[in-house]
């Protein structure tokens, strides 16, 4: 018998999630059946959608999320012992997965570790996982950037944003990022090659953009929403494109009581902007395309996939809340 642990959400979040909204449950896994694999978790992802999706699920629920693990026992010849698996089984240290019928629900994503060509396996829940696919498709498919255009990214020093900015540079764009600390700003400019970055907590964004993008903004990759996004959209060029990826500035708010943001509709009409929200599973069957390009870019030194690593099953919750408040630079992951 294998003893397993999992994080169960047992209370409705009220604002920032609290430790006692969760319970760590210990339980015994049953013996595996024909077709099953027993997966031991090695890396766990903490992500903003784990906060944003909270209201979709009745309490209690097992905390969902991406993870990488290794097959420790198998009754499925397609997944022998030692195979590495990416799944959406969330914050648990062991899981039993049966893949005979494929993925049973749209939330039940499981696949073999992509070919990382020797890169760290943690990348499979970061730059070579859902986060990388979000940056790749969300930016390239929706913004359709052209060389020479000016791109603005918010949440620029996080998992998705740091990749979007670098992909924009690879595509020959001028890139301006907004992030929440001066250290992050330095990292974006000095290490990642952003043309300009700003601390949105201390800068006058309207003035900063007038100076950094005197010819206007062509593409905006929006990770944060709120007033900052309105200011950015206000300075877009005709036929500008906005990819609305996330809205983390309000994830801890009551969605029915959101603060008012400045009006942007006039700019949308007068500048004929194209604004599109997306959820990355729309491109699930094309993830390998993104993974292949991203692995090649990392290997050729064109793209850096920084990770903010915390260790220990007991520290997953703290890492999650720290990420929501901006303590991470790059993708926040937990090593078990
Ligand atoms: N549409 C989709 O399919 C997907 C959307 N997303 C979205 O992409 C965004 C980035 O996710 P991800 O890269 O995983 O996470 P990050 O690694 O970017 O971590 C979250 C970051 O958000 C920033 N942040 C927190 N509060 C605020 C605020 N009030 N205003 C501005 N920034 C804030 C913090 O950085 P700072 O120090 O800069 O404040 C923090 O580091 C999120 O909005 C997420 O929901 C992610 C995956 C898929
Ligand atoms: C098909 C469902 C699996 C969950 C995948 C993760 C979706 C992330 C979407 C993020 C939205 C905002 O952060």
C-alpha angle 137/138/143, rounded to 5°?
A: 105
Mutate to test the pocket of ligand 1, among 246, 275, 332 (most ligand atoms within 8 A of CB): 246
Ligand 2 centre to CA of 178 (Å) is 23
Give the closest ligand to the alpha carbon of residue 281. 2
Q: Which candidate, 201, 204, 234, 199, places its Cα nearest to that of 220?
A: 234
Mean pLDDT, range 146-157, rounded to an integer: 99
pLDDT for residue 168: 99
Q: Are residues 186 and 163 in the same domain?
A: yes
Mutate to test the pocket of ligand 1, among 46, 48, 56, 65 (most ligand atoms within 8 A of CB): 48
- In this structure, are residues 54 and 251 in contact, taking their beta carbons and an 8 Å threshold? no
Q: Are residues 106 and 152 in the same domain?
A: no
Ligand 2 centre to CA of 279 (Å) is 6
Q: How far is CA 15 from its chain centroid?
A: 20
**Residues, the chain:** 336
Residue numbers of the domain that contains 317? 2-115+305-335
User: Residue 88: which CATH number?
Assistant: 3.90.180.10
pLDDT at 101 over 90: no
Question: Across 104-202, where does the E strand assignment appear?
Answer: 110-112, 150-154, 174-179, 196-199
pLDDT at 133 over 70: yes
Tokens of 99: 């893949």
Tell me the pTM: 0.98
70 lines ligand 2 (CB under 6 A): no
Q: Are residues 165 and 109 in the same domain?
A: no
106 lines ligand 2 (CB under 6 A): yes
The pLDDT-based confidence of 102 (bands split at 50, 70, 90) is low
User: Residue 234: which CATH number?
Assistant: 3.40.50.720
Residue 219 lies in a domain: yes
Q: Which candidate, 273, 275, 267, places its Cα nearest to that of 231?
A: 267
Please write the tens of the pLDDT for every residue from 37-77: 999 999 999 999 999 999 999 999 999 999 999 999 999 99
Residue 123 lies in a domain: no
Q: Are residues 245 and 165 in the same domain?
A: yes
Give the closest ligand to the alpha carbon of residue 222. 1
88 lines ligand 2 (CB under 6 A): yes
Q: Are residues 54 and 150 in the same domain?
A: no
Residue 121 lies in a domain: no
């Amino acid at each position: 018998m294998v003893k397993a642990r999992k994080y169960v959400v047992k209370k409705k979040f009220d604002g920032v999630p609290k430790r006692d909204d969760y319970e760590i449950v210990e339980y015994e896994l049953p013996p595996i059946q024909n077709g099953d694999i027993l997966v031991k978790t090695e890396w766990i992802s903490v992500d903003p959608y784990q906060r944003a999706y909270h209201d979709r699920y009745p309490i209690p629920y097992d905390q969902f999320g991406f993870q990488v693990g290794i097959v420790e026992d198998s009754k499925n010849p397609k997944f022998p012992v030692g195979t590495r698996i990416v799944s959406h089984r969330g914050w648990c240290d062991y899981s039993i997965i049966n893949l005979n019928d494929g993925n049973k629900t749209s939330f039940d994503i499981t696949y073999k570790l992509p070919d990382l060509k020797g890169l760290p396996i943690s990348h499979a829940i970061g730059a070579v996982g859902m986060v990388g696919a979000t940056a790749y498709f969300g930016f390239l498919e929706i913004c359709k950037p052209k060389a020479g255009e000016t791109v603005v990214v918010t949440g620029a020093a996080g998992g998705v944003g740091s990749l979007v900015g670098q992909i924009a540079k690879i595509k020959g764009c001028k890139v301006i990022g907004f992030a929440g600390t001066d250290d992050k700003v330095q990292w974006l400019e000095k290490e990642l090659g952003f043309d300009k970055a700003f601390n949105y907590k201390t800068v006058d964004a309207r003035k900063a953009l007038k100076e950094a993008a005197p010819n206007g903004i062509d593409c905006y990759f929006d990770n944060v929403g709120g007033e900052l996004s309105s200011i950015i959209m206000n300075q877009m060029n005709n036929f500008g494109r906005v990819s609305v990826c996330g809205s983390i500035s309000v994830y801890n708010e009551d969605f029915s009581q959101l603060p008012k943001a400045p009006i942007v509709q006039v700019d949308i009409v007068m500048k004929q902007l194209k604004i599109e929200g997306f959820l990355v599973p729309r491109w699930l069957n094309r993830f390998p395309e993104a993974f292949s390009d991203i692995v090649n870019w990392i290997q050729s030194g064109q793209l850096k996939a920084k990770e903010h690593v915390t260790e220990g099953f007991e520290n997953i919750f703290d890492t999650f809340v720290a990420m929501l408040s901006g303590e991470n630079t790059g993708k926040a992951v937990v090593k078990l």
